[in-house]
Amino acid sequence: MAKLRFHIRYPEERIPDPILYQIGKEFQVIPSIRRADVRETTGWMDVEFTGETDEIDRAIVGLREKGCIVDPIELNVVE
């Protein structure tokens, strides 16, 4: 199993939605929030996904389809 980290930015209109929960249900990945800052008009999270690489890739596509901006975090190592 792979553990990969991503920086996710939410569009303002999607902040109230449980997007990370939905991704965990839709795909065979385990999301773990490492850091986050969510406010009324902005939101971002650093998330570590655990799962098969192909399934993590599918989850990232799913996040982007939900309007999120997703960037990989270069250092994919658990602290």
**Residues 7-60: pLDDT tens digits?**
999 999 999 999 999 999 999 999 999 999 999 888 999 999 999 999 999 999
- Write the single-letter amino acid at 62: G
Q: What is the pTM of this model?
A: 0.87
User: Which residues neighbour 73 within 8 Å (Cβ) at sequence distance 6 or greater?
Assistant: 5, 6, 7, 46
Rounded to the nearest angstrom, the gap between the alpha carbon of residue 17 and the centroid of all alpha carbons in its chain is 13
Tokens of 2: 């792979």
pLDDT for residue 75: 62
